[in-house]
Structure 1
Amino acid sequence: MRKFLAATVLATSVLALGSGGQLTTAHAQEDARYDGTIRSIVVEGNKRIEARTVQSYLLLEPGDAFDPDRIDLSLKTLFATNLFADVSIDRREDDLVVRVVENPIINRVIFEGNRALKDDKLREEIQASPRGVFTAARVQADVQRVLEMYRRSGRFAAKVEPQYKPLEQNRVDLIFEITEGPVTGVRAINFIGNKEYSDSRLRSEIVTRQSRLWRFFSSNDNYDSGRLEFDREQLREFYQNNGYYDFRVTSAVAELTPDQKDFYVTFTVDEGRQYDFGVIKVETALEKLDSSILQAVVPIQEGELFRGDQIEGTIDALTYAAGVAGYAFVDIRPQISVNEETGRIDITFAIDEGPRVYIDRINIVGNTQTLDRVIRRELRIAEGDAFNRILLDRSRNRIRALGFFKEVEIVETPAEDPDRTIVDVTVTEQSTGELSFAAGFSSVDSYLFDLSASQRNLRGRGQSVVARTSLSSRQQVVDLRFTEPRFLDRNLSAGVDLFATKQDFEEFTGFTSETIGGGVRTAFPLTDRMQLGLSYRLQADDVNISDRNIIIDTAGNLVRDSVQIEGQSTPDDFTDDRFRLPEAGDAGPGELVVDFCDPLYTLRDTICRSERNDISSIIGYNFFWDQTNDPITPTRGFDFRFSQDLAGLGGDVRYVRTETGASLYRGIWRDVIASAKFSAGLVVPLDDEQGVRINNRFFRGGSTFRGFDVAGLGPREIVRVFDPQTGEVVQTSRLNSLGGNAYYQGTFELTVPNFLPEEYGIKSALFMDVGSLGTLDDVDKGVPLFIGDASQLGFPGLSAVRIPKDAASLRASAGLSVFWDSPFGPIRFDFSQILRKEEYDRTETFRFSTSTNF
């Protein structure tokens, strides 16, 4: 058609130079070219595209007239398909000839020179793809998309040159040659107009950071224009939460440095003046809502510094109070009155009945693995119910508490009917299956080997399966657990446990134990925030006391319990390595070498009573009450736990074990959370003669009471060497920990910012632990053992006494805990300072260990 029209224009121009008669003849000839009808349509030049496909885009068919307008539109339609590099339409006698030059087909899309952005990331953004049509316009559009991706990643100097390599059969390899250039950072962030807060203080409130060498793991020091808008909002929230109601950011300008490597970012602010809260009122037109009662719900106090976020918090509190009173639909409008002269802001919260809105339907989006019903059963609201924001927020927290999703968002959109809304629950699945292999070392367990396989969301049904084996220098564990969260399709969870453990804390407590058993458990909710659980466990315990020879006389009295090594000088401390345990040849006339747990020894240690094999039949229950605002990282609220176990319905062991605990949380500032945790426990024997076996007592220390070693505080046997003439104590040494029948503890923590990028995965907290452990029964702690002659202990002429100490006096420690989510697994470091202890406690100032909770 192009050639056709060009020939027409040329002929018309030549004829126009002649006479008027000649011009008339030319018009007659031009009209003659459009005379007649199309006999057939001939397609030429096509190799890959069939002629019928080309003809389908034409607006003409055989039998139609040679209409120039329709020919022109057909030409434009063929070009719009992007299938052809060139198209022309001509007339050959009564045939319409369409000549095409096909665009190549893309064989491969290749990226060269890219390191910061991976190929897969780039392919997600561009339109060009293998087996797609190659066009210059599409390639240029893809170039701009790639450049935009690099700008978003902070590389404004990036260049992209498209190349193509022709192949046979009209195919090409499309190549994007990329020069990434350096990361465009932020050389400086400046503020204009700020008087109350320094530039450095304001820089800490925004996300964008100045480029510094130590921020090589962070991307927040890369310039991002979209991030500046977020920073403007962060500044506004900061100022308004500090009383500056009139604050505004008048401009945020980014200027590229002459070397095009960095940006200068400048915020111009208008701080305004600082305000306090004035008169706070609540007005309501609803009969069942009493303004005076609602006034008590308002957390704002007159005279306090104005904070913008407290207005939103008040609206939430009033909405919740109205919902409790039976009003699911309320409209709360804060009416703000600013008095610049007095510097106070009066607020009246006007409450009126809002429009009634019901849930039309609930859509679950994004659950590629988890079944719909697993999510829906956590919702506290159903289709057809009245819309209730409080219940939706509670539903979101319940879904998050499952631990199956990275993110959970609930968004409502209007339905076709004005009184209906659609609720979209959007979830992002995360990995719930884990196969882990770990080996390491810690100051708690020395070497550690751990192999576990678990699936917390088996087949997307919410079922949990755990198979774990753990091996360390002090304990070996094999643990198999299965949990069905909705047993028999009821709001009832049930589980089965099989376990086998072996513990060796001989260094601290003087005994080792082996346990094998199994159990069943169930739990059901009492309310949305309360749960009651029941359990039964049957286990076999084998407790062994470490062998230690002593020398006794024929009456069973102690002669000596250690022998100084021949050739060694007398040590200052009888626990020195220069002593050894007695052997058979060390016994003199009328003396015997026996184990210190031997029945022949009249004053054998009370711990020896725990050396036996027993069957324990234990039934128990537990109660949990959760009033926190977030199930994962609470910043407000409290939780409470209470449990009791009864051993004695069958088996050989009889006791009642009770434990309770409570935690309180309060967010103070961003990433600064204060928490207080209180716990206590008591185990009471049901058989006074049997007492409480040592493996059933409580032990505190290590990770459970920072600053004290494993089993480092509480009842313990000690030996005091003294001068029998003056009574002066010469030496006091610790022996084994005895454990305790009761404990209490309070832990106070304050998470503190460490100013490290989040990518490091490092968090820190200040802590204080206070509490105690003690109250052994007489049958458990035994009686003091007098040693008349302590010469065998290295103290000739002196005496010694072995005393059980069980005073439940106060212990306290404080320090810093650092949590690191390292590539090798979560690690915890504790730096402690002892504030109060007993002389016989075992303390420590540093500990590192694996951690299971951040």
Structure 2
Amino acid sequence: MANGLQTVLKICATRKALRASVVFPAIAMGCIAVPAIAQAQQYSFSRVVIVGNERIEPATILAFARIARNAPVTAADLNAAYQRIAGSGLFEKVAVTPKGSTLEITVKEYPTVNVINFEGNKVVKDEVLSQVVQTKPNRVFNPAEVEADAQRLVQAYSDDGRMAARVTPKVIRRSDNRVDIAFEIKEGKVTNIERITFTGNRSYSDRRLRQVLASKQAGIFRTFVKDDTFNERRIPADRQKLIDFYQQRGFMDVQVTGVSSQMTRARDAFYMTFNVIEGQKFHFDKVTTTSEIDGLDPEEFQKLAKIRSGQTYSPQAIEYAVTRMEQLAIKKGVQFVRVQPQITKDQRTQSVDVTFQLVRGPRIFVQRIDIEGNTTTLDRVIRREFDTAEGDAFNPRAIQNAADRVRATGFFSNVDVNANQGSSPDQVVVDVNVDEQPTGSLGFGASFSKSDGVGFNASLQESNFLGRGQFLGLSLGTTKDNNTSSLRFVEPRFLGRDVSFSFGASYTTTSSATNNSFDTRRISVSPSFEFPVSERGRLAVRYKVGEDSLNNVPLESSQILRLEEEEKGTQRYSGFGYTYSFNTKREQIDPRFDWRFSFSQDFWGVGGDVTGGVTSAKIQGERKVFNEEVTLRASLEGGAVHASGGTTILQRFSGSQIRGFQSYGIGPRDTDATNDDALGGNYYWVGKVEAQFPIGFPEEYGISGGVFWDVGSVWGLNDTNGDGVDPVDDSMHLRSAVGFSIFWDSGIGPLRLNFSKAVKKEDYDKTQNFDLTLSTQF
């Protein structure tokens, strides 16, 4: 036996610390010494010695080895022990050597990571890259993790559109068993999407379908736009967006059979082609409701379907109907009701029959809701979007609707919601996984008008303030004669309910504007609450307090304004108001049509110097025609103001809503006053129609055109005694203007240029032939 032990066969295994791209000064080796005379020979060790460990406890190594003292051990057992110790990822070298009755395990621990450096990166800062890698300073060095980090960095650059990015990890030995890790980065250029095309689309043009996708063709502002960089991860979402687009318009059998992504010869851009099979367009025919549950009258539920025969098929219409029916069942105290829509297609007539079946669903309860991935956003911000709580009956549709509401917050780039079996068959655990995205923005803007000249504004907004789901915005604006600042705070879920609380404050000053030779100062503070009153209607109630000041009215101004400054120069007001709004987009079924209505009233007199009120209303609609290539818009609005003791110019309407005229460019005017000041009116109405359409520019430029026609009037004064012999004419004289617009989605903000011509006006009106607005966010 002694002679046999003198002749040994060393079975060695080599582990690569890093792949060929990683420079490492040593290759980890592990050896097991066993007798050569018989691999099946058994051993027994009364003692196990651990050599070389510094940080790792001997008990930890013995736990990996699983070699018991004085127990029979074979060579295969020794090899398995080596594999377990080496496979732990804690050691650079491992050797398992039997020495008589002693088993010696020799290890060399992996070093500790000292620092991590990024070299060669210019576009992406170190702070961003450090969030991508999993290897951290002061932790045990893991070669496999470093390799994975290199791939994570490559993927991060790829997601940013830099497909040619390369990352090479370097490991540098330091004293005291430490290493520095350097990631050498070649960022490469951005790989844009040069062109997006479609095959098989008959009903809608490539231009219209490109508007649906999240991916965009590269335009002239490709440096600033991220959506035109090629990102393979966006392709599944783009396919689904196309399917949703067609199905909402009646093409229930649409398919996107494939997406081809081909790199250009210069390897600096991609051509993308979506293969579409549209199928036929369907419409609803018969809609019925049946019930298998005692006490639930199908006729009562049928009324909630709200689907008309002949209406274009839309999965949203069915979804909304199912949601309404299930909510009614819950209100009636009947749990576990499922509404199952049965759809029958008739290819010959291209019609769809729908039967809503009320059935008893399985008795399953929500055990808990687990939320992961939110590092900034508080759990309660996500949880409050769920109508379902722990212990409630499980309703898959309610969970899906909650997931849609979480996505609609805009706080997350990705939201995955899955229901998994809980601790028993009748329990489910709802897993919510989110990926957060930036929610703050810094905005800069510019505007131009003939009356105010060039203006600038800046805004700072955070839509997820402190991770609480609250909105906080601050804006500052200035022109030649105007300065405006405002603060707004919104809590969208006050006390966890569908009630929005907001607080706003503003401060505005004007001085010697083109149409007015006096100065003004306006301060206001307004808290408000808004809540739903119907599926599409909401009601906002508010309290508003403020102060209006009219100052420095010159002697050459109208006697009316001089008296207003003298008698009502500074007025404080306080009162309550409300706004009812109706918007079809809150439950949109036909995406080609949208209309909204609002009605507001404010009443002054709860303290302050002003008693009276103001009423206003507005209705507007939008319709897409010619296969949605052209958008038609129309609106009608009006208002009236009344104050006991008369109004001031600060309370009256300026007529700024009518394009083609300056602010205070229309309405009652004291033409006998030397400076020809406008006076504003107690009443106004404005009607607008316009069309927006492509004008032949390449789509990636984001330029389209439009034409418009505005008509309306401003009239009515309490005091019409001006400086002249005749009183001021405050009659309702009709004004109108026509013009054309250029819309430019410039990549740094929406830009609109209006070129107007007044076609019906009074001799004293002030016209404006051009105005421009520009806003941008970074």
Length-normalised TM-score, structure 2: 0.73
Give the corresponding residue for 1:775.
Answer: 716
With over 3 angstroms needed to count, the CA separation of the structure-2 counterparts of 1:756 and 1:317, relative to structure 1, is farther
Find the partner of 2:287 among 278, 281, 285: 281
- 1:424, CA displacement in angstroms? 7.0
Find the partner of 1:173 among 149, 174, 180: 180
**Paired residue secondary structure (2:562):** helix
- 1:348, CA displacement in angstroms? 2.9
Deviations along 1:812-842, one digit per CA (max 9) or x if unpaired, are 335437587997x997654434343333211
Task: Kindly indicate whether residue 647 of structure 2 is the aligned counterpart of residue 692 of structure 1.
Answer: yes
Deviations along 1:632-684, one digit per CA (max 9) or x if unpaired, are 99985634232133459774x5x523222234455749898766554322233
Give the corresponding residue for 1:610.
Answer: 564
Task: Kindly indicate whether residue 596 of structure 2 is the aligned counterpart of residue 656 of structure 1.
Answer: no
Give runs of aligned pairs for residues 730-745 of structure 1, distance below 5 A. 735-745=676-686
For 2:67, give the aligned amino acid.
Answer: L
Find the partner of 2:170 among 150, 163, 169: 163
Give runs of aligned pairs for residues 756-835 of structure 1, distance below 5 A. 768-777=709-718, 779-782=719-722, 784-785=724-725, 804-814=728-738, 815-816=740-741, 829-835=753-759
**Paired residue secondary structure (1:503):** strand
Find the partner of 1:545 among 540, 553, 558: 553
- 1:413, CA displacement in angstroms? 2.9
- 1:708, CA displacement in angstroms? 1.1
* 8 Å Cα contact 2:445/2:776 also seen in 1: no
With over 3 angstroms needed to count, the CA separation of the structure-2 counterparts of 1:174 and 1:397, relative to structure 1, is closer
- 1:740, CA displacement in angstroms? 1.0
Give runs of aligned pairs for residues 438-517 of structure 1, distance below 5 A. 445-446=452-453, 473-475=480-482, 502-505=509-512, 507-514=514-521
Q: Distance in 2 between matches of 1:400 and 1:198?
A: 29
For 1:333, give the aligned amino acid.
Answer: P
With over 3 angstroms needed to count, the CA separation of the structure-2 counterparts of 1:805 and 1:393, relative to structure 1, is farther
- 1:271, CA displacement in angstroms? 5.3
- 1:713, CA displacement in angstroms? 1.0
With over 3 angstroms needed to count, the CA separation of the structure-2 counterparts of 1:448 and 1:768, relative to structure 1, is same
Worse-matched range after superposition: 118-127 or 360-369: 360-369
Q: Distance in 2 between matches of 1:485 and 1:364?
A: 20
With over 3 angstroms needed to count, the CA separation of the structure-2 counterparts of 1:389 and 1:657, relative to structure 1, is farther
- 1:364, CA displacement in angstroms? 6.9
Worse-matched range after superposition: 157-166 or 382-391: 382-391
Deviations along 1:123-167, one digit per CA (max 9) or x if unpaired, are 444444434444554444444444444554555544444433332
* 8 Å Cα contact 2:501/2:530 also seen in 1: no
**Paired residue secondary structure (2:650):** helix
Find the partner of 2:75 among 54, 68, 77: 68
Deviations along 1:349-388, one digit per CA (max 9) or x if unpaired, are 3332352766665667777677777787787666666677
Q: Distance in 1 between matches of 2:214 and 2:544?
A: 52
Q: Distance in 2 between matches of 1:612 and 1:8?
A: 114
Task: Kindly indicate whether residue 23 of structure 2 is the aligned counterpart of residue 82 of structure 1.
Answer: no
- 1:715, CA displacement in angstroms? 0.9
Q: Distance in 2 between matches of 1:133 and 1:9?
A: 33
Task: Kindly indicate whether residue 671 of structure 2 is the aligned counterpart of residue 718 of structure 1.
Answer: yes
* 8 Å Cα contact 1:542/1:612 also seen in 2: no
Give the corresponding residue for 1:113.
Answer: 120
Q: Distance in 1 between matches of 2:665 and 2:270?
A: 57
* 8 Å Cα contact 1:412/1:424 also seen in 2: yes
For 1:679, give the aligned amino acid.
Answer: E
Q: Distance in 2 between matches of 1:487 and 1:238?
A: 34
For 1:84, give the aligned amino acid.
Answer: F
**Paired residue secondary structure (1:695):** coil
- 1:80, CA displacement in angstroms? 0.8
User: Identity, % of aligned pairs?
Assistant: 29
With over 3 angstroms needed to count, the CA separation of the structure-2 counterparts of 1:828 and 1:316, relative to structure 1, is same
- 1:10, CA displacement in angstroms? 9.3
**Paired residue secondary structure (1:718):** coil
* 8 Å Cα contact 2:500/2:531 also seen in 1: no
Task: Kindly indicate whether residue 419 of structure 2 is the aligned counterpart of residue 413 of structure 1.
Answer: yes
* 8 Å Cα contact 1:492/1:522 also seen in 2: no
Task: Kindly indicate whether residue 47 of structure 2 is the aligned counterpart of residue 40 of structure 1.
Answer: yes
Q: Distance in 2 between matches of 1:736 and 1:271?
A: 61
* 8 Å Cα contact 2:384/2:496 also seen in 1: no
Give the corresponding residue for 2:359.
Answer: 353
- 1:772, CA displacement in angstroms? 1.1
Deviations along 1:375-429, one digit per CA (max 9) or x if unpaired, are 877876666666779988998899899x895679695735646666666788888
With over 3 angstroms needed to count, the CA separation of the structure-2 counterparts of 1:765 and 1:425, relative to structure 1, is farther
Give the corresponding residue for 2:662.
Answer: 709
For 1:808, give the aligned amino acid.
Answer: M
With over 3 angstroms needed to count, the CA separation of the structure-2 counterparts of 1:708 and 1:108, relative to structure 1, is same
- 1:169, CA displacement in angstroms? 3.0
For 1:622, give the aligned amino acid.
Answer: G
* 8 Å Cα contact 1:298/1:318 also seen in 2: no
**Paired residue secondary structure (2:671):** strand
- 1:716, CA displacement in angstroms? 1.3
**Paired residue secondary structure (1:638):** strand
* 8 Å Cα contact 1:371/1:461 also seen in 2: yes
Give the corresponding residue for 2:583.
Answer: 628
Q: Distance in 2 between matches of 1:714 and 1:492?
A: 40
For 2:733, give the aligned amino acid.
Answer: S
For 2:564, give the aligned amino acid.
Answer: S
Equivalenced residues, count: 735
Q: Distance in 1 between matches of 2:653 and 2:561?
A: 14
- 1:71, CA displacement in angstroms? 1.8
Unpaired stretches in structure 2, ≥5 consecutive residues: 12-33
- 1:623, CA displacement in angstroms? 1.9
Find the partner of 2:602 among 638, 644, 663: 644
Q: Distance in 2 between matches of 1:34 and 1:445?
A: 98
Give the corresponding residue for 1:344.
Answer: 350
Give the corresponding residue for 1:839.
Answer: 763
Instruction: Provide the alpha-carbon RMSD of the alignment.
Output: 5.6
Worse-matched range after superposition: 119-128 or 186-195: 186-195
- 1:76, CA displacement in angstroms? 1.3
- 1:492, CA displacement in angstroms? 9.4
Q: Distance in 1 between matches of 2:631 and 2:689?
A: 11
| Structure showing greater relative contact order (alpha-carbon pairs closer than 8 Å, 6 or more residues apart) | 2
**Paired residue secondary structure (2:676):** strand
For 2:683, give the aligned amino acid.
Answer: A
Deviations along 1:442-501, one digit per CA (max 9) or x if unpaired, are 755457687999999887788998888876543456778899999999999999988775
Q: Distance in 2 between matches of 1:278 and 1:434?
A: 44
Q: Distance in 1 between matches of 2:198 and 2:607?
A: 73
- 1:109, CA displacement in angstroms? 3.4
Give the corresponding residue for 1:535.
Answer: 543
- 1:285, CA displacement in angstroms? 3.0
For 1:533, give the aligned amino acid.
Answer: V
Worse-matched range after superposition: 412-421 or 64-73: 412-421
- 1:79, CA displacement in angstroms? 1.3
- 1:197, CA displacement in angstroms? 6.7
With over 3 angstroms needed to count, the CA separation of the structure-2 counterparts of 1:148 and 1:754, relative to structure 1, is farther
With over 3 angstroms needed to count, the CA separation of the structure-2 counterparts of 1:642 and 1:461, relative to structure 1, is same
Worse-matched range after superposition: 457-466 or 499-508: 457-466
* 8 Å Cα contact 1:525/1:532 also seen in 2: yes
